[in-house]
Amino acid sequence: MMILRRILALVLTMTFAAVAVAQSVLMQHNDPARTGTDPQEKQLTPATVKAGFGKLFSLPIDGQIYAQPLIVNGLDIPGKGVHNVVYVATMKNYVYAFDADNPNEDCPLWKSSLGKPVPYQFIPINWGSIAGLYNIKPFIGITSTPVIDPVSGRIWVAAKTMISQDDPRYYLYSLDIRTGAVLATSQPIQSGDGVDKLDAKTALQRPGLLHENGMIYLAFGSQQDGGFYHGWVVAFDEQTLEQRFVFCTTPGDIFGEGGIWQAGNGPAADSHGNIYVMTGNGTFESNRRYGSSFVKLSPELKVVDWFTPSNYEKLTLLDIDIGSSGPMLLPDSDQLVGGGKQGYFYLLNRNKMGHLQRKHSLAPALQYFHVSDHLTLDWVSWLIPMLGYHHIHGGPVYWNSADRGPLVFVWPEETKLKAFKYNPATHFQKKAEMVGPKAPHGMPGGALSISADGNHNGLLWAAIPLNDDAFVKVVRGTLRVFDANTLEQLWSTDKNDPEDIFSFAKYCPPTIANGKVYLATFSDRLNVYGLTTAPLSPPSWTNTGKPIRKSRGHGRVRL
């Protein structure tokens, strides 16, 4: 069956080549606002997915994939011709470039090794190591999603590397996207000393990388809350990788914490180059320490504005901080939305975030409401937090539907998939516009992406565990696709086809481009899905094989 599938995939790939539009995915969740939307997908529609959709092929790799796969189209690879290229980074510190459309591409176009990864046991003593429970194993290497600039031909990658028996270090690399050659390497990433120290022994660089303001921004939290740590954002010159600016979330406090992890979602950036992050459990002090907060930073990483919930002490005490999903900037507005372990959405005015929320008051948040299913008895939440709160990890994502208007989708753990209507003037409709199936027991819920042809033919893609809790175990995963206008499930990998059984890649959303879906796994492979029948009504445009330039949304030219 696998041979037949590969032949079919090759025929369909050749059929689609003449009608493919150049779509690139250059960063985690598609754009600096982190909307998670590909608005140029013409081949994948509710009708074509219903007519025939399935797994086309797999690309073999070495190591677990935590980083979202990225795509560059029409790229001239020296000696190998023009290709649409998919980039994959693994926890064994390998970076691969594959032909994104070729089911017979068993060998990569290139492969680069960025050093020896760190064994999972090499973390400070904490609850996980004492109990023998590790939420990352067996290796810690490239955990964050890289970022690509096709104009300069570079991909930037952050890797945790074991230099010697007791010396793990973080480095930032820039590689040539055509050859994989290392163009520059940072000094070991560190900052401060004593109480305020960015230490690779305790730090985890989990959020996706951001390319903005001529710099590469990296955010850091901790590895499984081990040791003494802070949250950090560090900016590097995009050319030399010299460390330029640093922000520490909780300076001057050895117990400060305030890590930035965001379940892999990257820092967001607005059209002025300001940076937005959400922090985890940590100490809070007005205008100095920002645990359990939304923080707006200047390009030079100075605090511009911030918002902290009035119940920040409870959030930290019960480990239900707001830093578990990352902020999303809502298009055509000056607002942002984010949610965390408590299962609430916070809607904020990003030009006036409001600082500390008043107790028993909505202000200064524009809205604050529950999106996850939970027990309403507050004492239960205090005594047994796991029973009272269902975390938001994967998302949210945004799509402006021609039929329903702007929608924000979210799939928290142990909660039904939900879509909420949004209007910049009237804000969110608190009752879900649409409701889908329920996530399985345990973490992390669904990691979401959207594909659409502008305001039409929206599809919501979800990577989620099939049945089990993926917090510390490697479990079977599933890919599901829904009509974004109805949340009708159109297709899934839930069937017990041996070729479609794979281990779930935690927190990693699917990547959609050029009529295909690229799904990370923990099964040493990248799965590729697409149409198994010809399009019902082929588009009229063509692909010349040359890069197509389009606006990145910041007044600059990007592929």
Partnered with residue 297 across adjacent β-strands are 275, 303
Q: Which amino acid is at 120?
A: Y
Q: What's the CA gap between 296 and 275, in Å, rounded?
A: 6
User: In sequence order, which residues have a C-beta less than 8 Å from that of residue 444 and are 6 or more positions away?
Assistant: 263, 391, 393, 394, 413, 465, 470, 471, 506, 507
Query: Can you tell me whether residue 42 is helix, strand or coil?
Result: coil
Q: How many CB atoms lie within 10 A of CB 190?
A: 17
Alpha helical stretches, state H, 18-104 = 46-51
Considering only the C-alpha atoms of the chain, give the largest distance between any 2 of them, rounded to a whole number of Å. 66
Please give the full DSSP string across 218-231, using - where no structure is assigned: EEEEESTT-SS-B-
Tokens standing for 559?
């592929």
* pLDDT tens digit at each of 559 positions of the chain: 444 444 333 333 333 333 334 589 999 999 999 999 999 999 999 999 999 999 999 999 999 999 999 999 999 999 999 999 999 999 999 999 999 999 876 689 999 999 999 998 776 666 666 666 788 889 999 999 999 999 999 999 999 999 988 899 999 999 999 999 999 999 999 987 778 999 998 999 999 999 999 999 999 999 888 888 999 999 999 999 999 999 999 999 999 999 999 999 999 999 999 999 999 999 999 999 999 999 999 999 999 999 999 989 988 888 888 999 999 999 999 999 999 998 999 999 999 999 998 876 777 889 989 898 765 445 455 555 555 578 999 779 999 999 999 999 999 999 999 999 999 999 999 999 999 999 998 899 999 999 999 999 999 999 999 999 998 899 999 999 999 999 999 999 988 778 789 999 999 999 999 999 999 999 999 999 999 986 544 333 333 333 333 333 332 222 2
Query: Can you tell me whether residue 146 is helix, strand or coil?
Result: coil
| Burial category of 164 from C-beta neighbours within 10 Å (exposed 0-12, middle 13-18, buried 19 and up) | exposed
Partnered with residue 476 across adjacent β-strands are 503
Q: 203-204 and 210-212 as β-strands: parallel, antiparallel, unpaired?
A: unpaired
Please give the full DSSP string across 93-133, using - where no structure is assigned: SEEEEEESS-TT--S-SEEEE--PPEETT-S-S-HHHHHT-
CB 427 within 8 A of CB 406: no
Q: What's the CA gap between 35 and 353, in Å, rounded?
A: 20
Partnered with residue 149 across adjacent β-strands are 154
Per-residue pLDDT tens digits for 63-119 = 999 999 999 999 999 999 999 999 999 999 999 999 999 987 668 999 999 999 999
- The C-alpha R_g of the chain, in whole angstroms, comes to 22
Strand order, beta sheet including 37-38: 37-38, 447-453, 456-465, 477-483, 489-492
**Which of 59, 205, 85 is CA-nearest to residue 145?**
205
Cis peptide leading into residue 46 (ω within 30°) = no
**Which of 253, 248, 254, 118 is CA-nearest to residue 191?**
248
Q: What's the CA gap between 315 and 160, in Å, rounded?
A: 30
**Which of 109, 108, 104, 12 is CA-nearest to residue 57?**
104
Per-residue pLDDT tens digits for 236-252 = 999 999 999 999 999 99
Phi, psi of 10 (to 5 degrees): -65, -40
Q: Helix, strand, coil shares of the chain as percentages rounded to 5? A: 10, 40, 50
**Which of 557, 520, 547, 515 is CA-nearest to residue 17?**
515
Distance of CA 202 to the CA centre of its chain: 22
Q: What's the CA gap between 274 and 212, in Å, rounded?
A: 9
Query: Can you tell me whether residue 375 is helix, strand or coil?
Result: coil
DSSP assigned state of 247: E
Tokens standing for 196?
């305020």
pLDDT of res. 145: 98
Alpha helical stretches, state H, 255-322 = 312-317
Determine which helix (DSSP H) or strand (DSSP E) holds 511, and give its type and residue range.
strand 511-513
CB 233 within 8 A of CB 215: no
Degrees, nearest 5: CA angle 268-269-273: 160
Distance of CA 225 to the CA centre of its chain: 20
Strand order, beta sheet including 70-77: 70-77, 81-89, 94-99, 110-113
pTM of the complete model: 0.90
Q: Which residue has the tokens 């074509």?
A: 48
Q: What's the CA gap between 98 and 100, in Å, rounded?
A: 6
Q: 355-356 and 303-308 as β-strands: parallel, antiparallel, unpaired?
A: parallel
| Burial category of 87 from C-beta neighbours within 10 Å (exposed 0-12, middle 13-18, buried 19 and up) | buried
Query: Can you tell me whether residue 70 is helix, strand or coil?
Result: strand
**Which of 87, 226, 202 is CA-nearest to residue 147?**
87
Q: How many CB atoms lie within 10 A of CB 555?
A: 7
